[in-house]
Structure 1
Amino acid sequence: MTLVVLGIDALDPDLVDPGEHPNLCLDHHRSIDTIDSHAGEPSTHELWPTIITGLPPADHGLELDDGVAWENPLLRHGSALADRLLPDALQTRIGAWLLTNTDADAFRTPATYYEERGVETVFDGRDAKPIGIPNYVVDPDAEDREHALRRSLGDLFERDPEATGGHRSSDPHEFYEQCMEMAMIRIARARRALRGGRHELVFAYTSGLDLIGHVTYDLPDLQMEAYAELDQFVGELRADLGEDDELLLVSDHGLQDGVHTHEAMIAGTDERLVEGVDSVLTVRDAIEAALSRADHAASETAATETDEDRAAAVQEQLEDLGYM
């Protein structure tokens, strides 16, 4: 048995419909509570560490001071001094400029951070494959195509504290294309990890839906097109599941009218995956409960002769996207 967890940043429970998005709703879905940062809205930087640890940001220690991007490699060591010397608005503008114009990234905390501080995660002691999870970076020197695309967006995605949702784009439709490519890459990597049959837990993340939502506040049809297309991508992943495999979708918050909302979402192929999950704080418990119910070694399904075509198709997709 392999449990595939797909983290879809900003998957909003109010924007999915079982009739239109069967693969985003799966067999069972529900809205769950999220956590607001001190800035008043949910923070991706804080929430994915919460999802993999089950701890609030104050306990796992990864918190943003301004909800934009002050916590990044160029500023981390000077942030305490800056907090005393610089007004909040100026800190936000500096952080925005750095993320737009440099290689700085607010989501690249290495996985070693957790072990060094005695913080347990859902990956500990398991044959797990984490893929692109914000602030759980297995190899800080490596990056995949999604991360490279995100860093090279330029004026397609610029931080602007005065814009609706804090972002603007020079060409929302071209930006949409790049974001959907990012989502395809991460989902293809999850499919490849599943087809390999070596992991009991595959946990992949994509930010494409969140990024699109931030710049389509005046283009709602484009945001909903992203939901429809993402539903198809998840359907391809769902079709790869073996008889004993399960799929869990989880988001960190919703996103409407360009800004984060205060509800997240969870969906699963088994009712037991979602029952009892009422917030981002209890997602880890649900994952661990699902893994404890199954014997991965007994049901391991590495690619067989009858599966070779599907495995080759996933590899070909990765090659076409420039990842391999």
Structure 2
Amino acid sequence: MTLVVLGIDALDPDLVDVSTHPSLTLSSHRAIETIVSSSGEPSTHELWPTIITGLRPEEHGIVLDDGVAWENPLLSVGSRIANVVLPETVRTRLGAWLLTNTDADAFRKPASYYAANGISTVFDGRKAAAIGIPNYVVDEEIPDREHQLRKHMGSLFERDASEPGGHSSSDPVEFYERCLEMSMIRIARVRRALRGRRNELVFGYTSGLDLIGHVSYDRPELRQRAYAELDEFVGELVDDLGDDDELLLVSDHGLQDGLHTEEAMVAATSEELIDDIESVLDVRAAIERELETGAHDVVESTADTTTDGEQSDRVREQLEDLGYM
């Protein structure tokens, strides 16, 4: 038995409907509270560490300052320069430029950070697969396909303080396609990990919906299409679940009119799994409770799960088409 957790950045409880999004609402779904950062809105950079630790940002120590992760050494230098020679309103733009044009990254805190700082996570002591979770990078040497796509958007996704969503795109339709490709890759990786039957917990994350929302706030047809296609992707994951497997969907915040909202969302194949989740701070406890009370036994696979069976072949072909393998 495996518990699959899929983090969908910006999945908004106000924008899903049971009749049109059965795979995004599952057997039960609900809105939950999130946490507002110093930037004035919920921050992905801070919230996924919160979700996997159950701690507030000031407790786990991964926080934003004016919307930028200045604790990165390179960004820290930029911060000191900006404070001296630039107006405060320009400071975040400098940080955005550094993030876009250097190897500095606000989402690539290594998994080792937590143990080094005496912080426990939902993965500790478990056979678990952590796939693409912001600020929980298991191996910094292994390139991540979604991360690579996100870092090389160029004019398709640029910081723009004049836009309501803080970003603009030279081609929103092409940008949409790139974002859906990113989501497809991550969900395919989650499906592979599930079928491998080597982990009691498979926890993946995708950011495509969030990125689309930031630049398509004035194009509701793209947003609706994104929710419909993501529902299909998650539906394929649901089809892979065994009789005793469970699936939990969780978001860090919603997103409307280009801006993060102060409501996140959870959905699950079991109503009991989300009964006690009132906020993002409760997600870790709910996962651990399910793992401790459910029969999440790991069955060692004796076959190459990337090629064994029709389902594995489908996902392998999908990954090859996308250039991941």
- Does the 8 Å CA contact 1:195/1:302 hold for their aligned counterparts? no
Q: Does the C-alpha gap of structure 1 residues 121 and 269 become closer, same or farther in structure 2, counting only changes over 3 Å?
A: same
Task: Determine the C-alpha separation between the residues in 2 that align with 1:213 and 1:302.
Answer: 42
The residue that corresponds to 2:108 in the other structure is 108
Cα deviation for residue 320 of structure 1 reads 1.5
Cα deviation for residue 129 of structure 1 reads 0.2
Aligned residues: CA RMSD? 2.0
Q: Does the C-alpha gap of structure 1 residues 303 and 30 become closer, same or farther in structure 2, counting only changes over 3 Å?
A: farther
- Does the 8 Å CA contact 2:32/2:279 hold for their aligned counterparts? yes
**What amino acid is aligned across from residue 317 of structure 1 in structure 2?**
Q
The residue that corresponds to 2:99 in the other structure is 99
Task: Determine the C-alpha separation between the residues in 1 that align with 2:270 and 2:112.
Answer: 32
The residue that corresponds to 1:227 in the other structure is 227
The residue that corresponds to 1:312 in the other structure is 313
**What amino acid is aligned across from residue 265 of structure 1 in structure 2?**
M
**What amino acid is aligned across from residue 219 of structure 1 in structure 2?**
R
The residue that corresponds to 2:283 in the other structure is 283
Question: So what's the TM-score if we normalise by structure 2?
Answer: 0.94
Q: How does 1:77-226 map to 2 (within 5 A)?
A: 79=79, 83=83, 86-226=86-226
The residue that corresponds to 1:42 in the other structure is 42
**What amino acid is aligned across from residue 175 of structure 2 in structure 1?**
F
Task: Determine the C-alpha separation between the residues in 1 that align with 2:226 and 2:145.
Answer: 19
Task: Determine the C-alpha separation between the residues in 1 that align with 2:205 and 2:274.
Answer: 18
- Does the 8 Å CA contact 2:53/2:122 hold for their aligned counterparts? yes
Task: Determine the C-alpha separation between the residues in 2 that align with 1:6 and 1:269.
Answer: 12
Cα deviation for residue 160 of structure 1 reads 1.3
**What amino acid is aligned across from residue 155 of structure 2 in structure 1?**
D
Task: Determine the C-alpha separation between the residues in 1 that align with 2:301 and 2:247.
Answer: 15
**What amino acid is aligned across from residue 29 of structure 1 in structure 2?**
H
Q: Secondary structure at the match of 2:204?
A: strand
The residue that corresponds to 1:16 in the other structure is 16
**What amino acid is aligned across from residue 14 of structure 2 in structure 1?**
D
Question: So what's the TM-score if we normalise by structure 1?
Answer: 0.95
- Does the 8 Å CA contact 2:129/2:203 hold for their aligned counterparts? yes
The residue that corresponds to 1:59 in the other structure is 59
Moved more, 308-317 or 182-191: 308-317
Task: Determine the C-alpha separation between the residues in 2 that align with 1:212 and 1:79.
Answer: 29
* Residues 252-293 of structure 1: CA deviation (Å, up to 9, x unaligned): 000001010000000000111110100000000000011011
**What amino acid is aligned across from residue 319 of structure 1 in structure 2?**
E
**What amino acid is aligned across from residue 290 of structure 1 in structure 2?**
E
Cα deviation for residue 70 of structure 1 reads 4.1
**What amino acid is aligned across from residue 65 of structure 1 in structure 2?**
D
Unpaired runs of 5+ in structure 2?
none
The residue that corresponds to 2:264 in the other structure is 264
- Does the 8 Å CA contact 2:27/2:270 hold for their aligned counterparts? yes
**What amino acid is aligned across from residue 314 of structure 1 in structure 2?**
V
Q: Does the C-alpha gap of structure 1 residues 304 and 181 become closer, same or farther in structure 2, counting only changes over 3 Å?
A: closer
Q: Does the C-alpha gap of structure 1 residues 53 and 172 become closer, same or farther in structure 2, counting only changes over 3 Å?
A: same
Task: Determine the C-alpha separation between the residues in 2 that align with 1:2 and 1:207.
Answer: 23
Cα deviation for residue 64 of structure 1 reads 0.3
Task: Determine the C-alpha separation between the residues in 2 that align with 1:320 and 1:200.
Answer: 29
Cα deviation for residue 156 of structure 1 reads 0.1
- Does the 8 Å CA contact 1:103/1:151 hold for their aligned counterparts? no
Number of aligned residue pairs: 324
Moved more, 258-267 or 78-87: 78-87
Unpaired runs of 5+ in structure 1?
none
Runs of 4+ in structure 1 deviating by more than 2 angstroms, as ranges, are 68-74, 76-88, 99-104, 294-305
The residue that corresponds to 1:246 in the other structure is 246
Cα deviation for residue 83 of structure 1 reads 4.9
Task: Determine the C-alpha separation between the residues in 2 that align with 1:73 and 1:260.
Answer: 27
Cα deviation for residue 99 of structure 1 reads 2.4
Task: Determine the C-alpha separation between the residues in 2 that align with 1:101 and 1:254.
Answer: 28
